[in-house]
Structure 1
Amino acid sequence: MGVTIADVASRAGVSKTTVSRVLNSKGEISEDTVSKVRKAISELGYVPSAGAVGLARGTTQMIGMLVPDLAWVWAGIVQAVVETLEAEGFGLRMLTVNGGEESLRRLGLQVAAKSFDGLLVIEPEGALAAITELHEAGLPVVLIDDRFQRPGFPYVATTNREGGEQAARHLLDLGRRRPLVVTGPDEYGCTQERLGGFVDVYAQAGIELEPRSIICGDFLFDSSRRGVAQALADGVEFDAVFGHNDPSAAGVIAALHEAGLKIPRDVAVVGFDDVEVASYTYPALTTVRQPMREMGEAAARLLLDHVRRSPEAAPSRIIPTSLVIRGSTLEPSSN
């Protein structure tokens, strides 16, 4: 049986009603009592349910940010969040969910102790239900998402389908009529959106992509390199490749170099995201820019609006993608 509010009360030497009042910030309670209750919560690992804690607006001037891990891919978003919050007099507390249930337990403790006034979340695999419960209990939450999750609370997202369309139109404008696609994981909504937009534009041009022209990938460099190498070995003919993110597209470029093909003369390559690696491939990668910094800033401002209970607070925001053209699709001018 899990730790109960009665256990917390017993450890702190107070009544269950007092514990509930501390959790809900209700009534006149001495700092000593509050300290005892919070210490007991921490020692016992008590995680309040949505019914046990009606979260009131905090006054910590801190915002929590929950990320899958501390990988560099989130750097643009996090930097924009930090800059936006600092300009508004708020600090940032970073949290990860790579510890599974233990991470969620720690998150519950942070919320119970009112360590922050609101929560920003990036791609909470396995945690969305718990975060939704916290939001329903009164915690301001904003999701920063590119995988087409649409929760019951505010989010900031981008236009994945339109990004796929932009990649397809660019390749068609260059006369590339035999594309290969290296997708992301099937279970991600963004994979279906990017693929759907790309395939539809080619269909409108009278070109149907064959099943073997679509390689199921996982957003990783090595698997994309292997997938393209296998397509070449199988005799699949293509004059362009659309990788569903930039590391995938970098793997595509590596495979093409290893096969002795020239980029973009023989095969044009387009990625998605416009992260740092896109500028370091050879040739530099044409890619659909996902507005990471803009998404981070927008999410921080949206969350602060909800923390402050601003009547102008928007429910959600969608920020469009844009195409960044580099040498992997257009050779330098000979002029």
Structure 2
Amino acid sequence: MSTKRRVTIAQIAEEAGVSVPTVSKVINGRPEVAPDTRHRIERLLHKHGYQRRVSQDEGPAGLVDLVFAEIESPWAMEIVRGAEDAAHEAGASVVISVLHTHAGPGRDWLERLAARRTDGVVIVASKLSSVVQAQLSARSLAFAVVDPEGEPAPGVVSVGATNWHGGLAATRHLLELGHRRIGMISGPADMLCSQARIDGYRAALETAGLQVEPELIRRGTFLVDSGHDHGHALLSLDDPPTAIFAGSDLQAFGVFEAARQRGMRVPEDLSVVGFDDLPLSRSAWPPLTTVRQPLQEMAALATRTVLGMGRGEPPETRRVELATELIVRDSTAPPRS
């Protein structure tokens, strides 16, 4: 039985028509390589599935990289807490990077990463291109994605939540209270979690025999201003909803403010459900009914997984969705008769 031989740097160099040191510079993120040459070498590394040999004497670096698209949110802080707890248990520390874009890690970030050692990378709410995936693999870096923005490629470890079930549970709760005209505010259409929450909302309405009305579904960002603006838009309809399911707690807080500005009370005049169960949802007034997304657990699982992969332990599964749970508080009530 024959086995596939592992490609070497020398073979990559010969095929690319460059020197071995040039290939080594690309693998290690050194900047002094012409862009065209770098791209050619990276394509060959990806084509041959090259993985850097790691010295057994190096030992763990004691660092995990946590990479965010954005971090200006209490949601991100919950992710940080979960990652730090798991890293601390393993005797490691967390290095946080903020990309300020949902396009995923770029060349500059990869070059900075290659200039130092890390035990693994956890990428949060971003796209992961095939090029970045290949570059991480070529450097023998364990990586996982938390709450992936798009569909992860086969073989990529991802940790998310049961967003569809959460959307279903939130909408069913409002239906059981007697609401029949329910607004939905969610995030961008190209985000998996956003679309899954809308699909759960749709399924609950259709199961109840109600028509899904496009004017009641709004897409924005998961931030307060989006909830405020879309909340006003929904409440300005000729036949406004008696309840709104917001795709995040921050959006729900924006709906609270929109209702207040219109002289409406929550839940007497409008029921509101959020999604995430941030610490702020318990201290809001009224306390927010919301779908608990286990953010800390998601980050901790991804961190433990990449640390294990860095030690040569294969992940138990490549795709994990942790359960969501409806938490009923005081922001929902039966509609006015």
Q: Please, what TM-score do these two structures have when normalized by structure 1?
A: 0.80
- Alignment length (residue pairs): 304
Q: What do residues 223-267 of structure 1 show as CA deviations (whole Å, max 9, x unaligned)?
A: 322222233333123211101111111111111122222211222
Question: Is 2:176 the partner of 1:176?
Answer: no
**2:246 & 2:68 partners in 1: Cα distance?**
24
1:86 positional shift: 1.9
**2:26 & 2:233 partners in 1: Cα distance?**
58
**1:102 & 1:131 partners in 2: Cα distance?**
8
Matched AA of 2:242: D
1:324 positional shift: 1.2
Q: Any residues of structure 2 matched to 1:93-108 within 5 Å, and which? A: 93-98=95-100, 104-108=106-110
Q: Residue in 2 aligned with 1:193?
A: 196
Q: Any residues of structure 2 matched to 1:276-291 within 5 Å, and which? A: 276-291=279-294
Q: Residue in 1 aligned with 2:30?
A: 41
Question: Is 2:300 the partner of 1:323?
Answer: no
1:295 positional shift: 0.3
Q: Residue in 1 aligned with 2:64?
A: 63
**2:68 & 2:296 partners in 1: Cα distance?**
15
**1:158 & 1:102 partners in 2: Cα distance?**
20
Instruction: Give unmatched runs, 5+ long, in structure 1.
Output: 6-14, 25-37
User: Is the Cα–Cα contact under 8 Å of residues 119 and 141 in structure 1 kept in the other structure?
Assistant: yes
CA separation of 1:272 and 1:140: change in aligned 2, threshold 3 A: same
Question: Is 2:138 the partner of 1:134?
Answer: no
Among 238, 241, 248, the alignment partner of 2:241 is 238
> Identity across aligned pairs (percent)?
26
Among 42, 51, 60, the alignment partner of 1:54 is 51
Q: Any residues of structure 2 matched to 1:1-335 within 5 Å, and which? A: 16-18=19-21, 20=23, 41=30, 49=42, 51=44, 54-57=51-54, 59=59, 60-72=61-73, 73-98=75-100, 104-125=106-127, 127-137=128-138, 138-145=140-147, 147=149, 149-152=151-154, 153-311=156-314, 313-330=316-333
User: Is the Cα–Cα contact under 8 Å of residues 243 and 269 in structure 1 kept in the other structure?
Assistant: yes
**1:183 & 1:102 partners in 2: Cα distance?**
21
1:51 positional shift: 4.0
**1:21 & 1:229 partners in 2: Cα distance?**
57
1:150 positional shift: 2.1
1:94 positional shift: 2.0
**1:261 & 1:155 partners in 2: Cα distance?**
41
User: Is the Cα–Cα contact under 8 Å of residues 147 and 191 in structure 1 kept in the other structure?
Assistant: no
User: Is the Cα–Cα contact under 8 Å of residues 106 and 132 in structure 2 kept in the other structure?
Assistant: no
**1:283 & 1:45 partners in 2: Cα distance?**
59
1:93 positional shift: 2.1
Q: Please, what TM-score do these two structures have when normalized by structure 2?
A: 0.79
1:128 positional shift: 2.9
**Structure 1 stretch displaced more, 54-63 or 68-77:** 54-63
CA separation of 1:102 and 1:308: change in aligned 2, threshold 3 A: closer
**2:321 & 2:102 partners in 1: Cα distance?**
29
**1:213 & 1:101 partners in 2: Cα distance?**
29
Instruction: Give unmatched runs, 5+ long, in structure 2.
Output: 1-8, 10-17
**1:43 & 1:146 partners in 2: Cα distance?**
33
User: SS at the partner of 1:261?
Assistant: coil
CA separation of 1:327 and 1:118: change in aligned 2, threshold 3 A: same
CA separation of 1:222 and 1:308: change in aligned 2, threshold 3 A: same
Root-mean-square deviation over aligned CA pairs: 3.0
**2:230 & 2:152 partners in 1: Cα distance?**
31
CA separation of 1:311 and 1:109: change in aligned 2, threshold 3 A: closer
User: SS at the partner of 2:133?
Assistant: helix
Matched AA of 2:187: G
